[in-house]
Amino acid sequence: MKSKKIINDVDNIVFDTVEGFVKAYKHKVIKLPNSNVIVRKNLEAGKVGVVIGNGSGHEPACIGFVGKNMLSANAYGGIFAAPGPDTLYDAIEAVDSGCGVCVLISNHAGDVINSKMAIDMAKDDDINCKGVILYDDIASSPKGQEEERRGTAGTLFSYKIVGAYAEEGHSLDKVVKMAEKVRDNTRTLAVATISGTSPITGYKMFEIEDDEIEIGMGVHGEAAAHTMKICTAKDIAEVMCEKLIEDKPYLEGDEITVLVNGCGQTTYMELLIFYNEVEKILNDKGIKVYKPAIGSFITTQEMGGIALAFCKLDDEMKKMWEKETDAPAFKI
């Protein structure tokens, strides 16, 4: 069975999506006239810009995170395809007010190559521009090889914390350091229960047995590390928490924030049931949770599943995490 998505022409999916977004949030954002870039309204001079490029199809990520105290701009590509260097350059140029721009880069080959090219183009034009590669998915490469890991749902912590930090008027070097700190304090692991369908072909993106869940699935349906039989939320939470804590010792006495990210069709009910188990496990280990984010923020179409991410916080990061943003799709 092909998917029954409510769309128009397959070739115009991204165009139509963004046109709808810009109409709905015209009081908050604009689209650059000749480039696939969403820029927040009322950018203030004297502040470092924070930009990310990403493939479309993961909505609300990342267009929905453009706003005060979050992203200054988002350059978007085609469905599951990174935007080109020209588009990223346009985003950088649009938000530079002379203080420089920090480009957050989710670690996927296309994103990294194109972002680096865009940063070089910006430097050639005397824009002070630096990139920070974000990697958080512990399933995609073993401990000790963190830099090989994919960027997945935990990158959301960086969008929020780094965006709010830049808003405070810190220098580009300090903003880059904050981005590195958030990244280094973040770990993510995802499980998938049901495949999403490609908006282009209408067919399932991967196969999964009726009684199995996949652990370590990437945000485009990249192969999972292993499978397990479907079990309770409690059992899934235990497996995932253990792996995350093992990888990066979140220790007794630590304060962390938690992201329970729905991948698409997983209900808010399930996200809450799952979060309940996660908090119990963490509390049993003496780890305190500070204002978790629960929702379907970074999706893979109507995939079923949950990404669980942890980020260790200090007092400054806590303040940045909880600062209100008018970005249309983020609230804690």
Q: What pairs with residue 39 in β-bridges?
A: 30, 73
On whether the CB atoms of residues 147 and 100 are closer than 8 A, the answer is no
Q: Give the footprint of a copy of itself on residues 163-202 (CB under 8 A).
A: 193-194, 199
User: 113 vs 289, which CB is nearer to a copy of itself?
Assistant: 289
Q: Give the interface segment with a copy of itself, choosing from 22-30, 34-42, 140-148, 172-180 (CB under 8 A).
A: 22-30
Query: Would you list the DSSP string of 185-226?
Result: TEEEEEEEEE--B-TTT-SBSS---TTEEEES--TT-PPPSE
Active site residue 108: no
At residue 291, what is the residue type?
K
Which member of 126, 210, 252, 315 binds a copy of itself (CB under 8 A)? 210
On whether the CB atoms of residues 167 and 133 are closer than 8 A, the answer is no
Which member of 143, 223, 272, 314 binds a copy of itself (CB under 8 A)? 272
Active site residue 58: yes
CB of 59 to a copy of itself, least distance (A): 4
Cα angle 178-129-297, degrees, rounded to a multiple of 5: 55
107 binds a copy of itself (CB under 8 A): no
CB of 310 to a copy of itself, least distance (A): 15
45 binds a copy of itself (CB under 8 A): no
On whether the CB atoms of residues 49 and 72 are closer than 8 A, the answer is yes
Considering 58, 108, 170, 226, which one is annotated as catalytic? 58
Q: Could you give the CA distance from residue 176 to residue 280 in angstroms, rounded to a whole number?
A: 34
On whether the CB atoms of residues 131 and 179 are closer than 8 A, the answer is no
Chain positions contacting a copy of itself, by CB under 8 A: 1-2, 4-9, 13, 16-21, 23-24, 27, 56-57, 59-60, 64, 193-194, 199, 210, 213, 230, 232-234, 236, 264-277, 279, 289, 291-292, 294-296, 299, 301-302, 304, 306, 328-329, 331-332
